[in-house]
Structure 1
Amino acid sequence: MFDKDALQTITANAIAAANLTIATGGHKLAVLPKDVTLHNLEPFQLGRDRFRGALRTHSLTDFASYVERHTTNEPKPAGFVDQDAMSATVIFNLGTDAQPGHGDDTATLTLKPTAAYVALQAIAGKAMSQQALAEFLEDWMPHLMAGAGEDALPMPAAINAVRRMKITATSTRDSEVGDLSARRSAMDEIEARSLETMPTTFIFTTRPYEPLEAAAITLRVSVITGRDEPLLKLRWVGEDAQREGFADEFKQVLDKAVGGLVPLTIGTYQQCK
C-alpha cells in the first residue's frame, strides 16, 4: 500500500513524463505538477538564445547609427515618437500580427535640453527680486536682446535699469460736501519706476535641444508691487504654441535621421502581457 504522499509523487512524475500540452485558441499550455520548478539554462550556454537589450541615449547621431546597424533583420522594426517627452523608441523585435515578437530589444532616444534652455524654463513665470533677475540677465547676456517698447535697448543699460528700480507711492484725496451728506475718498497708488529706461521685453535665443534649430523666445517683463521691494516676472509669450513647434521639429528631425529605416508613429507603445 502507498500512502498519500507517495501516491502524489508517483502521479506528479507521471504527469511530467507524459509531456502533455493543451492548445486553447492560439495559446499553448503545458500540464505540469504543482511543485515543478522551471530553470532557464541560457546563462550556462556559450551564447544567448536571441539578441535583446535596451539602448538609452541623448545623442541623435548615436541613436541613428545604432538603429541603422540593427535594421538588417526582417520583419522591420517599429518606431514610436512621444512628442510630449521629446523622446522616441524603436522596437526591433516587435514582429507582425502573424508572427509577433517579444518586443524586448529596443533603442530609446530622449533629447536633453541645453543648459540655456534649462535656465530659461527655471525662471519663466517666476517672481524674482531685482538682484536675482539682474544676475540672470548678466549670466546669459550672450543669449539676450532687450527692448523698451519698439526700441532696442543695450543689455548693459537694461540690466542697470533693473538694478535701479524704486517704489513710488502717491496719494490722491477727493472731497464732496452736500447739504445733507459729506463724502471723502482716498486712493493710494504704488508704482515701480526705474531711474533708467526700463526694458519691457527680452528676446532669449537658444537651441532648446541640441538637434533642433535656435529659437527666439519672447519674454515680457511685468512688475509686482505691494511690498517694500518690487518683484519682477518674465512671462514667456506664446509658450504653449512654441513648445508645440519644438515637438513638431523633433518629429521632422527624427524622420530625417531614421525615417527611411523605421516607420514612425506618434505616440507611445506598451506591450500587453
Structure 2
Amino acid sequence: MSQQLDSSAIQQVKDLVLSGYHLDDVQGLACPTAILPENTVVASLEKFSLERFRFRGAMDTTSIDDFVRYSAGYAKPEEKARCFIDAENMRASSIFNIGTLDNPGHADNVSTIQLKKTAPFRALLAINGDRLNQKQIAEWLEDWSDFLTAFDANGETMSIAQAAQAVRRVNIKQVSESAHEDEDFSGKKSLMESVEASSKDVMPVAFEFKCVPYEGLTERRFSLRNSLLKSGEPMFVLRVVQLEAQEEAIANEFRDLLIEKFDGKPVETFIGNFKA
C-alpha cells in the first residue's frame, strides 16, 4: 500500500539531504559551525565555547591619549594597524585586523575617536550670526566673560562688565538717528560714537573669544564682529571672523597631532575613511 508524501514532509527530506550534502565543508572550517535543517542556515557555535574563536570588538572614545594608547597597545609590529583620519569630521578609526591583499582580515576589530566640542566652543558656535536683543547679548557676555575680551571703536580694550552695561543702555531712537554704512568700518565707528554721545557709554564693536575648541587640542583665539541693527528694537549680531578658516586649521591640528603621536608605533596613518 503506497503512501503519498505531503509538501511539508517533502521539505523536511530536502532539508536533511542539503544538510548532509554540505557536512564535509562545515567540518573543514576553522571556526566550529553547524548546518541547521530549517532553510539550511549556517550557525556558529562560538558562543557555546569557553573562549571566542578570535578577538574582535569596537572601542569608542573622545580622548586622544586613550585612543593612541589603545591603538598602539593592540597593534603588532608584524601586522601594523591602519588608522584612517577624517579630519573634516574630527574623527579617526584604527583597524587592527585589516590584513593584506593576499591575506585579508575581517576588519571588525577597531578603535574609534570622535572629538568632543568643549562647552565654550559650543556656546561660540551657537551665538554666531544670531540676532540678539539687549538682554540676550548682555547675559551672554556676562556668562562667558572669562573667555572674552572687548574692544571699542578705537581698538582699545574694555571690560566685559562695561560692554554688557553699554549694550543694555542702547536707545533705539539714538540708533535710528545715526548714519551708517555696512561695508565701511568708519561707518560702524560713527554709528557707535553717535550712540556713545547720547548714552555716555563706550560701545563694544569687536570681541576676542579665547578657548580650547575640542578636548585634547590647543587653545585658539576667535575674533567676533559686533553689529548693531538699526531697524526696530536694538538688535545685535555677533559673527566669528573667518570661521571656516579656523575650523580648517583645527582639523589640520587634529590630523597632525595623531600622525605625530603614532610616529614610531606600529600604526600607519592615512587621511580619509575606510569601509570593509
TM-score clears 0.5: yes
Q: 1:170 and 1:16, CA in 2 relative to 1: closer, same or farther beyond 3 A?
A: closer
Which has the larger displacement, 10-19 or 217-226?
A: 10-19
* Aligned twin of 2:206: 201
Change (3 A) 1:245 1:89: same
Residue 96 of structure 2 contacts residue 110 of structure 2 at CA under 8 Å; is this kept in 1? yes
Give the alignment's Cα RMSD to 1 decimal. 2.5
Aligned: 1:232 with 2:236? yes
Aligned partner of 2:118 in structure 1 is: 114
Shift in alpha-carbon separation, 1:170–1:128, aligned structure 2, 3 A: closer
SS of the equivalent of 2:122 reads helix
Tell which deviates more after alignment, 255-264 or 234-243. Answer: 255-264
Q: Partner of 1:166 in structure 2?
A: 171
Q: Deviations over 1:160-205 (max 9, x none)?
A: 111111112449xxxxxxxxxxxxxxxxxx9983421111100000
Relative distance call for 1:102 and 1:157 in structure 2 (3 A) is: same
TM-score, normalised on structure 2?
A: 0.80
Partner Cα distance (2:54, 2:77) in 1? 13
Are 1:256 and 2:260 an aligned pair? yes
Query: 1:42 aligned to 2:51?
Result: no
Which range is displaced more, 212-221 or 69-78? 69-78
CA displacement at 1:60 relative to structure 2: 1.0
Q: When the two structures are aligned, how many residues end up with a matched partner?
A: 243
- Following superposition, the deviation at residue 11 of structure 1 comes to 5.3
Change (3 A) 1:203 1:39: same
Q: Tell me which protein shows more strand as a share of its residues.
A: 1
Q: Which amino acid aligns with 2:79?
A: P
Residue 138 of structure 1 is matched in structure 2 by: 142
SS of the aligned residue for 1:88 comes to strand
The residue type equivalent to 2:226 in the other structure is: V
Partner-residue secondary structure (3-state), 1:39: strand
Cα 1:225–1:17, aligned 2, differ >3 Å: closer, same or farther? same
Question: 3-state DSSP class of the match of 2:238?
Answer: strand
Note the C-alpha offset of 1:260: 3.4
User: 2:223 matched to 1:223?
Assistant: no
Question: Mind listing any 5+ residue stretches in structure 1 that lack a counterpart?
Answer: 22-30, 172-189
Of Structure 1 and Structure 2, the greater helix share is in: 2
How does the TM-score come out when normalised to structure 1? 0.81
Could you tell me which of 208, 217, 232 is aligned with 1:212? 217
5 Å-filtered alignment, 1:1-273, equals 3=4, 9-10=12-13, 12-19=15-22, 35-72=39-76, 74-149=78-153, 150-168=155-173, 169-170=176-177, 193-194=195-196, 195=199, 196-227=201-232, 229-261=233-265, 262-271=267-276
Identity of counterpart residues, as a percentage? 36
Instruction: Compare CA radii of gyration and give the structure with the larger one.
Output: 1
Q: Give the CA deviation at 1:8.
A: 5.8
Change (3 A) 1:35 1:157: closer
User: How far 1:14 moved relative to its partner?
Assistant: 3.9
Q: Secondary structure at the match of 1:193?
A: helix
| CA pair 237-208 structure 1, distance change in 2 beyond 3 A | same
| Per-residue deviation, residues 100-152 of structure 1 (Å, max 9, x unmatched) | 11111110111111111111111011111111111111111111111113222
Post-superposition Cα deviations, 1:224-251, rounded to whole Å, max 9, x if no partner, equal 2211x21101011011111000000001
In the aligned structure 1, how far is the partner of 2:76 from the partner of 2:136?
54
CA 1:33–1:237: 2 relative to 1, 3 Å: same
Aligned-partner Cα distance in 1 for 2:228–2:150: 16
* Distance in 1 of aligned mates of 2:50 and 2:212: 47
Hey, what does 2:181 align to over in structure 1? none
Change (3 A) 1:2 1:89: farther
Distance 1:267 1:219 in 2: 32
CA contact (8 A) 1:220 1:234 kept: yes
